[in-house]
Structure 1
Amino acid sequence: MIKIVEYNSESSKELIKKLEHRSQFENEPILITVREILADVRETGDNAVIKYTRKFDAPDISPHNLQVTDQEIDLAYSEVEEEFLEAINLAKSNIESFHQKQLRNSWITTEPNGTILGHLVRPLRRVGVCVPSVSQLLVSSLIMNVIPAKVAGVEEIAVFMGPKPDGTIDPHMLVTAAECGTREIYKCGGAQAIAAMAYGTNTIAKVDKAVGPGNLYVQVAKKEVHGLIDIDKIAGPSEVLVIADGKANPSYVAADLISQAEHGVDSSAILVTTSQTLAQAVKSQIQIQVERLPRQVEIVGSFN
């Protein structure tokens, strides 16, 4: 499953060449598909959002249940553990405290010659947060995207999450969003969610900025609408490079590599070390840890 490559060998040269091309990745079929989805949502609004959500996520989704109701959020609270709520609120408090220190103030001054100078800092009015919630429950990503916007003073924050096949969203994700202060949640993800944020529909108001992680379709869609609205960045595929010597704990190194490898088969997780012993030990640890984890297909595919 995992290759150990000697530095300056032919195998290492091939690996380095492959890594150099990761940032230049282009996929014409995905780009064509994304542009079709964007155009469809721009022209037909909610109908297109529903069409693609039925196709990719939940076959029975309808315009009437596209937005999560307060009743669904209240029910979600009864389905999560008290320990989960405590953990969410601890994380929320820590993240709020950190980002409070990043706030910048407006200022204005008058020069001796009467010239007025200043710097006006204002929050965006409305932001959309797109977070995966089916293949992965990215609770941390939801918190880390919503809380900084709240601290900055953004008036409206809408969360977009793809539903499960039965049309529901995991209660842990709903509760996390509510605990972070937003109850405007839509059951759609993917490129159609980005399109709805960018163009607006009858149900979904246009946003000023779209943020959050997602697969390649989401990232390509963000790239396509950038300029019409702002975006955070083009993210992924996930990468991690661990540099360690023979004193490192192989179980910790393995866990660090797996934490990114599990995001998808296109992830890159690499250890650089001068110790053959450590390399072998990390390889063994990865094989042991993978057996206990749910996303084995993604992890094995990434390391292959």
Structure 2
Amino acid sequence: MKIIRYTDAFFVDELRRFDRRAEASEAVREVVGDVVKAVRERGDEALIELTKKFDAAELRVRDLRVSQDELQAAWDGVEPRVREALEASHRNVSEFARQSMRKNWSMVNEQGAEVGEVFHPYQRVGLYVPGGTAPLVSTSLMTVAIAAAAGVPEIVVCTPCGKDGTVNPGLLAALKLAGATEVYRVGGSQAIAAMAYGTGTIKPVVKIFGPGNAYVVEAKRQVFGVVSVDLLPGPSEVMVLADKTGNAACIAADLLAQAEHGKDSGVAFITDDEGLLGDVVREMEVQGEKLSRQQMIKSVLEKECVLILVPTLEDGVELVNAYAPEHLSLIAEREEEIMQMVRTAGAIFLGNASPVAVGDFLAGPSHTLPTGGAGKSFPGLTTEMFSRRTSVVRLSKEACAKSEPIVRVFSEIEGLDAHGESVAIRGRVL
């Protein structure tokens, strides 16, 4: 892990890299471009080839879709304690989603026109659920359950399969509970292309959601416009900002929990207290020795972990806003004041007793959050992203007459006399 102190001569230069923008490397863009082109042009045939190439799985076209019988069998086979955990998370996520749904509304403007908004769920959406080094059962709930709460009729899920062509049964059980209507054992950027353009087996969707690796995120960028996308959630990351009130054991535990996601995970700790910095380092060493994913954790800590000593917590906030972390753990005496200064975090966890893992699995808000600096432009996943907004306007004869003089001025300025006439004519014929 790298430790940077504000007294270091290279401090300012080191921190410049914290001002991030979410973008992919040229190599990733090229690979994804080739994959998207192949799926667009050759459909299922390309999916079969790419699944063999990237996942080492031999599939036939008829194997791509996970049957309803498989989903039901996975749910039936879940042991009671796992089922209880899934259902508890599902209840919290679904209720949070329902509470945050936007509602239709209307008002009357100055000229007497009735104006408002109505919201309709998308008809068909695609959700990507990563597999990789761990089956992200929780992501099924944090995406699919929100789509279901929003009333989306067709919820399509793509998730990678193992070398034997199977999908983790716990993941399938969660998808069944959450309300997925179609599940396909397809992963990577090819899954994003399949949902965007459609294949013989997979019908195209209108919007794509969900986290993934750099290739998945880049694929979402490349198909944007063909479909809409939610946000750019890539490899997971955490940043902890704490003053002297921070508990070193709790902070170290959150940093290690993030590191076990493996390659490309971001792990950062910022404090204005030298003693806490040293305590956190020691706690990470002690706790790390007891964890199961030793190799992944050590690799992330060596390459991706940075601990920073700043002169004041306000200086730390500047780094947070520049970095735009997916998860921010904030522990401070002036908690409310400091929180109000944070502008770019995907989610904020307040106090020593608020582990990020509870947000990952249970609390209620979706854990699908912007990463790689995208938090400067994107929020986390919300219920309203699963619906379309439509504005509605209704005028009476009187409201139309009151609007006509103002519309005439605009039509004259812009040289669009037909616009003005389309309003004026109603005063003569209605």
Q: Structure 2 length as normaliser, TM-score?
A: 0.66
The alpha-carbon distance between structure 1 residues 78 and 101, as it changes in their structure 2 partners (threshold 3 A), is: closer
- Paired residue type of 1:225: V
**Is the 8 Å Cα contact of residues 58 and 163 (structure 1) preserved in structure 2?**
no
Residue equivalent to 1:13: 12
- The CA distance in 1 between the partners of 2:110 and 2:76, in whole Å, is 63
Are residue 117 (structure 1) and residue 115 (structure 2) matched? yes
- Cα separation, 1, equivalents of 2:287 and 2:75: 32
1:114-164 Cα shifts (integer Å, max 9, x gaps) = 634231211101111101123122122211111111111111101111001
CA contact (8 A) 2:154 2:181 kept: no
1:170 corresponds to? 168
2:78 is matched with which residue?
A: 80
Larger-gyration structure (1/2): 2
Change (3 A) 1:252 1:207: same
Q: Which amino acid aligns with 1:95?
A: V
Aligned to 1:285: 283
Q: Structure 1 92/24 Cα, relative in aligned 2: closer, same or farther at 3 Å?
A: closer
Instruction: Indicate if the aligned counterparts of 1:4 and 1:279 stay in contact, CA closer than 8 A.
Output: no
* Cα distance per residue 1:71-124 (max 9 Å; x no partner): 322332354321111111111111111111112222356669663423121110
Q: Which amino acid aligns with 1:15?
A: E
How many percent identity over aligned positions? Answer: 38
Where in structure 2 are the equivalents of 1:195-274 lying within 5 Å?
195-274=193-272
Question: 1:296, 1:209 → 2: CA distance?
Answer: 38
The CA deviation at 1:271 is 1.2
Runs of 4+ in 1 over 4 A off after TM superposition: 108-114
| Deviation of the 1:201 alpha carbon | 0.7
Residues 25/298 of structure 1: CA separation in 2 closer, same or farther (3 Å cut): farther
- Pairwise CA distance, 1:67: 0.7
Q: Distance in 2 between matches of 1:250 and 1:85?
A: 34
Instruction: Name the CA distance, whole Å, in 1 between partners of 2:277 and 2:107.
Output: 60
How far apart, CA to CA, are the structure 1 residues paired with 2:111 and 2:75?
61
**Is the alpha carbon distance of 1:120 and 1:177 closer, same or farther for their aligned partners in structure 2, counting shifts above 3 Å?**
same
Rounded Cα–Cα distance in structure 2 between residues aligned with 1:132 and 1:274: 37
Task: Give me the whole-angstrom Cα distance separating, in 2, the residues matched to 1:155 and 1:26.
Answer: 33
Cα distance between partner residues in 2 of 1:130 and 1:179: 16
Distance 1:128-1:25 versus aligned 2 partners, 3 A rule: closer
Q: 1: distance between equivalents of 2:235 and 2:269?
A: 17
1:277 to 1:57, Cα distance in 2 relative to 1, 3 A: same
Could you say what secondary structure the match of 1:202 adopts? coil
Name whichever of 128-137 and 70-79 sits farther off: 70-79
Structure 1 residues 161 and 112, CA gap change in structure 2 (3 angstroms):
same
Q: Give the whole-Å Cα distance in 2 for the aligned partners of 1:232 and 1:289.
A: 36
Distance 1:111 1:242, change over 3 A: closer
- Relative to structure 1, the CA distance from residue 80 to residue 284 in structure 2 (aligned partners, 3 Å threshold; closer, same or farther) is farther
Structure 2: distance between partners of 1:274 and 1:256: 18
In 1, the alpha carbon distance for the partners of 2:220 and 2:182 equals 21
List gaps (5 residues or longer) in structure 1.
Answer: none
Q: TM-score scaled by structure 1?
A: 0.92
Does structure 2 conserve the Cα–Cα contact (< 8 Å) formed by 1:197 and 1:205?
Answer: yes
Aligned to 1:4: 3
Deviates more, 1:258-267 or 1:46-55: 258-267
Per-residue deviation, 1:235: 1.8
Q: Give the letter aligned to residue 14 of structure 2.
A: L
1:185 pairs with 176, 183, 186, which one?
Answer: 183
Deviates more, 1:209-218 or 1:63-72: 63-72
- Residue 298 of structure 1 aligns to which amino acid in structure 2? M
Structure 1 stretch 212-221 or stretch 59-68: which is displaced more?
59-68
Q: For residues 253 and 110 of structure 1, do their structure 2 counterparts lie closer, same or farther at Cα, with a shift above 3 Å needed?
A: closer
Matched residue type, 2:295: V
| Cα separation, partners in 2 of 1:238 and 1:182, compared to 1, 3 Å | closer
User: 2:127 touches 2:208 (CA, 8 Å); kept in 1?
Assistant: yes
Q: Deviations over 1:19-78 (max 9, x none)?
A: 23x425441111001000000000000111111111111431111111111232233235
1:152-163 map, 5 Å: 152-163=150-161
Amino acid at match of 1:80: V
Contact 2:24 2:214 in 1 (8 A): no
Cα deviation, residue 292, structure 1? 3.3
The two structures, once aligned, show a CA RMSD in angstroms of 2.0
Q: Which deviates the most, 280-289 or 72-81?
A: 72-81
Among 102, 105, 110, the residue aligned to 2:103: 105
**Which structure 2 segments of 5+ residues have no match?**
303-430
CA distance in structure 1 between the aligned counterparts of 2:87 and 2:127, rounded to whole angstroms:
19
Question: Offset of 1:282 from its aligned partner?
Answer: 1.4
